[in-house]
Amino acid sequence: MEKNLSYGSDYKYIPATSISSGMGIEVLPDIYSHTIQIVNICLVGNPESGEFVLVDAGMPESADEIIAVTEERFGKDAKPKAILLTHGHFDHVGAIVELIKYWNIPVYAHQLELPYLTGQKSYPTPDSTVEGGMIAKMSPMFPNEPVQLGDRVEALPSDGTVPYMEGFRWIHTPGHSEGHVSFFREADKCLIVGDAFVTVKQEYLYKVITQEQEISGPPRYLTPDWKAAKASVQKLAELNPLVAVTGHGFPMTGETLASSLQKLANEFDQIAVPDYGKFLN
């Protein structure tokens, strides 16, 4: 029931932003990435057809912006068929309760992510001691309690298909979270990554603010399983994507993506894994 939808008691507006906040990029005719402060949402669908989905749900208190962006691209009163989640961290579900109530649509996530989306299980407390800059130091202020979406969230189909995203399949890419997924379309090698890897060093305040493009592993302050994270990056590199839309940072394409992702896969321990931090084995 709608009345049971809620955020964790630690949910709040996070005063962090970047130069790309409020900017949108049409990556492909049916792939639109929009930055909410420091995180990206993705609208998947051709505006001419009017049918689309929303991948991830932004920062806390961003529902009005997401609705406005959606209507600007698809028309007044347009609403997605569903919300697809790469995972349930606060910056990917920050507006989800308001959006579910406004649009009355279902949410899909990996089976292993459901406890974090139905009030059963909190994520680990972010690690302020991890190697990195000011964002890492600030990370304990980030919400980690679960949202409660009740029966409005359901598991992605076990056959790998993605509801309302024809041609895409979901790929389990754990490490940053247990049930993290990425979405891949073989026809044009388009990859919606989530946070399995990102294109900005998310731990460093200057790089987050300026959005300096640099392929990196998942955000260090909230990645509890580095062995799984490495395997996930290697799995994605084997797909040879031509386009990657990440949860943080600008989309990456072509040879820059190919060479950068291969380097990350080959040198993950040196590039991505921190030298110290509480989540290291």
Where are the domains positioned within the chain?
Answer: 2-271
Sequence-distant (6+) residues with CB within 8 A of 64 are: none
Residue 101 CB neighbours (<10 A)? 13
pTM summary value: 0.95
Q: What's the longest Cα–Cα distance across the chain?
A: 50
Residue 163 structure tokens? 């509801």
What's the rounded Cα separation, in Å, for the pair 260 and 266?
10
Q: What is the pLDDT of residue 206?
A: 52
Give percent of the chain above pLDDT 70: 95
Residue 170's beta-bridge partner residues? 183
What's the rounded Cα separation, in Å, for the pair 10 and 103?
25
The DSSP element (H or E) to which 83 belongs, if any, is strand 83-84
pLDDT in tens, 189-206: 999 999 999 997 766 655
pLDDT in tens, 23-60: 999 999 999 999 999 999 999 999 998 899 999 999 99
CATH number, domain 2-271, options 3.40.50.300, 2.40.30.10, 1.10.230.10, 3.60.15.10: 3.60.15.10
pLDDT in tens, 54-101: 999 999 999 999 999 999 999 999 999 999 999 999 999 999 999 999
The DSSP secondary structure of 104-145, one letter per residue, reads ---EEE-GGGHHHHBTS-PPPPP-TTSSS-HHHHHGGGS--S
